[in-house]
Amino acid sequence: MLTAIVDYESGNLHSAQKAFERVARETGAGEVVVTSDPDMVRRADRVVLPGDGAFPACRRELFDHRGLFEAIEEVVIARAHPFLGICIGMQMMATRGLEYEETPGFDWIGGDVVRIMPQGAHMKVPHMGWNDLVIDAPHPLLDGIATGEHAYFVHSFQFRVADPAHLLAHVDYGGPVTAIVGRDTMVGTQFHPEKSQATGLRLIANFLAWTP
């Protein structure tokens, strides 16, 4: 079993790599590789797409790596293997992003990435730090994870899904803010599971064991 964490120079992947390798080692979930090689991605049984920074810049970086998105799409869409998007990697699953400029997303899950507009002057943007998950729908990646468990967020924009059925979890930050989206074999987390301690490690383990 091979899990590919896609490296398209979108940020420091060290903590994600270590978390996935640790869980894979502890659960016998096979090999984890960090790669920017489209051929390696095509060999993968599951794909993880992280991302830090602004939506337009991350999308440009991904598509500047020739053939990389096409390899991801082949594995995830054509072959329906499990996919996990993290932070901007999750946001790029949307129809479009509205950060700085309108930018097309993958359109895997309908919706827009919009600025967080919390109610209350004391609520700062970016939304940064720990917040309590509210589970909206059951999913195999959420096995053993309950409403009230903590996850670590750093973001100023959120994925507003077009179909409420694709919203798996949210948090309250001066109003609802999307935390997890999902459809078919694809899931995305706005928070960083690799930085979310026990909750994040459980989600990673569930992803590595997921056989939809």
- Mark whether 58 is an active-site residue: no
List 58, 81, 87, 155, catalytic entry: 87
- Active site (annotated) includes residue 87: yes
Q: Whole-angstrom Cα distance, residue 159 to residue 95?
A: 10
The answer to whether residue 192 is catalytic is: yes
In contact, 91 and 51? CB cutoff 8 Å? yes
Give the 3-state secondary structure of the chain.
CEEEEECCCCCCCHHHHHHHHHHHHHHCCCEEEEECCHHHHHHCCEEEECCCCCHHHHHHHHHHCCCHHHHHHHHHHHCCCCEEEECHHHHCCCCEECCCCCEECCCCCCEEEEECCCCCCCCCCCEEEEEECEECCCCHHHCCCCCCCEEEEEECEEEEECCHHHEEEEEECCCEEEEEEEECCEEEECCCHHHCHHHHHHHHHHHHHCCC
How far is 191 from 171, CA to CA, in rounded Å?
10
The residues annotated as belonging to the active site are 87, 192, 194
